[in-house]
Structure 1
Amino acid sequence: MTSWTDVINYVRTRYEVLEESDDWLRFRLDTTGGRTQQVALHHVPEGDGGAWLEISSAVGRADAIDQGRLLELAGTSLVGGAAVVDGVALLKHTVPLEHLSVREEFERPLALLVSNADAFEHQLTEDDHF
């Protein structure tokens, strides 16, 4: 069984953690061409005792990008979907935490999500803000 603490410890040993709380963690990954991408992980408990792990990565300020184009781009992604949270457009993907395989259900979606978020940010903003 995988716990939220297991995920936090895994991330701490591999990535530059920028900020964290009891149920939230933000870290940075290097991408291509000297670019970086910030990622947030959220621990999302369910009422029945189960829990989910939400992975998200920002693409840009929602009011500064073509949101229709973001939806088109997100439609080409194998993992994640587009959302706007607190005025920030992002890609996010959610997986059950209980029997999480770190390699298959965390690392692979994480890599795809971050790669896409960075590429979409570059296409939509021509910047590397996130």
Structure 2
Amino acid sequence: MTSWNEIVNYVRLRYEVLEETDVWLRFRLDTGNGRTQQVSAHHVHESDVDWIEISSAVGRAEEIDLRRFLELAGVSLIGGAGVVDGIALLKHTVPLENLSVREEFERPLALLVASADAFEHELTSSDHF
């Protein structure tokens, strides 16, 4: 069984951790061409199941075309669109039990980050997140 601590250690070894609590990590990934993308990983316990929620910001909701954001998210292979605290996010959630870090964390993370960065670039022409 994979633990939250294993996810934390995996992230610490590979990425720049910006902020950390007992149940939450915020870290930065290099996406190439001088761009970076911030990501959050949350350890969530719901319905007697432990989950890992991965999210990456696209832009401030009041500053982007939310309809276009939903259109982009609708054809994205991974990630659901949402707005939390005024920030438009792509999110993906996986159960922690029997999680393969490489297959069920790293691969979705890479896809989510690539999409969020591309959406941010298209919708804001910036690299704020």
Task: Classify the secondary structure of the residue corresponding to 1:75.
Answer: helix
Equivalent runs, 1:1-130 vs 2, <5 Å: 1-48=1-48, 50-130=49-129
In structure 1, how many angstroms separate the alpha carbons of the residues matched to 2:76 and 2:35?
Answer: 20
Task: Classify the secondary structure of the residue corresponding to 2:81.
Answer: strand
TM-score, with structure 2 as normaliser: 0.98
**Greater per-residue strand proportion:** 2
Residue type matched to 1:113 in 2? L
Per-residue deviation, 1:7: 0.3
Q: Structure 1: state its 5+ residue gaps.
A: none
Residue type matched to 1:45 in 2? H
Task: Classify the secondary structure of the residue corresponding to 1:6.
Answer: helix
Residue type matched to 2:24 in 1? W
Q: Give the % identical residues.
A: 76
Q: 4+ residue runs of structure 1 moved beyond 3 angstroms?
A: none
Residue type matched to 1:4 in 2? W
Residue type matched to 2:93 in 1? T
In structure 2, how many angstroms separate the alpha carbons of the residues matched to 1:122 and 1:63?
Answer: 16
Per-residue deviation, 1:76: 1.2
Q: Structure 2: state its 5+ residue gaps.
A: none
CA RMSD after TM alignment: 0.6
In structure 1, how many angstroms separate the alpha carbons of the residues matched to 2:113 and 2:102?
Answer: 15
Residue type matched to 1:121 in 2? E
In structure 2, how many angstroms separate the alpha carbons of the residues matched to 1:72 and 1:37?
Answer: 21
